Amino acid sequence: MRAHTVILGAGATMAAIPNGDKNGKKSAVMNGMIQKLALDDLLKNVKLDTKSDNIEDIYSELYAKTEYKAIVVELEKRLYEYFDSLELPDEPTIYDMLILSLTSKDVIATFNWDPLLIQAYVRCYKITNNLPHILCLHGNVAMGYCEEHREFGTKDAICPICNEILTPIKLLYPVKRKNYKDDDYISGCWEAVDEVIKKSYMITIFGYSAPSSDIEAVGLLKKAWGKKEDRQLEEVSVIDIIDEEEMLFKWKDFIYSHHYRYTNNFFDSYLGMFPRRSCETVFAMYSLNVPADNRRGFHRGMTWTDVYSLVDDLCVIEKNTPSDKNLPLYYTAKSFFDR
């Protein structure tokens, strides 16, 4: 089965730590981030033209004015340090379940700077190594890179070729015209996401608002997906808190007719209902008329024992299925067999 590509925005991190991180620290979406992260003192003597509280609008204006160069440098430093300090809670989070809902044929492309997705990947790797690839489209405070050998991993890891500690990668800050080619790591991530989206059966957009400063990024994603008329069998899934009408307008260039699922929470998404078999199950439902049981996936309040029990069963099936064979339809409804 073809790939499932997941695109993450700040709303996904908010959903992963709704009550704050392990130490009670909050993440934030772009609107109101200056206040929420207590960065107000940086701007107390700054006269901004923008009336917006969106950090993308504020940063873009500061960046464009040379007299605020020192403030921009300090803002970048504080943002990096704050996000770098975030830690996942000990209990399973939506990020853990998201990673475990996908396999090595799939990709998570994140716009988020925070380290929580990477932290989740590290601990999920202890359950199975059949996990999705992660692409950090705007950089990430948890990631490191060896530019000489083009090796990457967590920033405390060692390049397997030169045995040097990986260099922390840069963050791509929210100016309206970003140059995705300037940084070798970020450029490589965009090349990879372009290829995987072209080959994807399904896209899930989770908590990504497609802000005005990301017009170029959305254009690149749209180009990779192609014309929606050529995607009549594929499915788009959106997880967001905006209303459905706004969602349909925002992602109208990606969605063909009624081929979409919209939900305001992870657990009612295809990923939450059919972990590790989302593409297979959706294809079986809509192309083969095979009904699915949506009660066997992840649900709220799961412990690590619950998560491990579910994922372990699926991983055993994966290991015992020859690579040239289709995986059994794990989520097929009982009614299908009773016909």
Cα pseudo-dihedral 189, 195, 201, 202, rounded to 10: 30
Helix, strand, coil proportions of the chain in percent (round to 5)? 40, 15, 45
Answer whether 274's CB lies under 8 Å from 331's CB: yes
Domain ranges of the chain: 3-19+88-138+193-320, 33-84
Please tell me the distance from the alpha carbon of residue 32 to that of residue 27, in angstroms, as a whole number: 11
* Tens digits of residue pLDDT in 217-228: 999 999 999 999
CB atoms within 10 A of CB 202: 23
| CATH class, range 3-19+88-138+193-320 | alpha beta
pLDDT in tens, the chain (339 residues): 899 999 999 999 999 999 999 999 988 777 778 887 878 888 888 888 888 888 888 888 899 899 999 999 999 998 999 999 999 999 999 999 999 999 999 999 999 999 999 999 999 999 999 999 999 999 999 999 999 999 999 999 999 999 999 999 999 987 777 788 889 999 999 999 999 999 999 999 999 988 877 888 999 999 999 999 999 999 999 999 999 999 999 999 999 999 999 999 999 999 999 999 999 999 999 999 999 999 999 999 999 999 999 999 999 999 999 988 889 889 999 888 876
Please give the DSSP secondary-structure letter assigned to residue 261: E
Please tell me the distance from the alpha carbon of residue 273 to that of residue 276, in angstroms, as a whole number: 10
The pTM of the full predicted model, rounded to 2 decimals, is 0.94
Region of residue 276 (phi > 0: left; psi between -120 and 50: alpha; otherwise: beta): left
- Residue 132 CA: distances (Å) to CA of 3, 94, 105, 153: 10, 15, 6, 14
Cα pseudo-dihedral 79, 83, 85, 91, rounded to 10: 160
Candidates 111, 135, 154; CA nearest to 196 is: 135
CB atoms within 10 A of CB 45: 7
CB atoms within 10 A of CB 59: 22
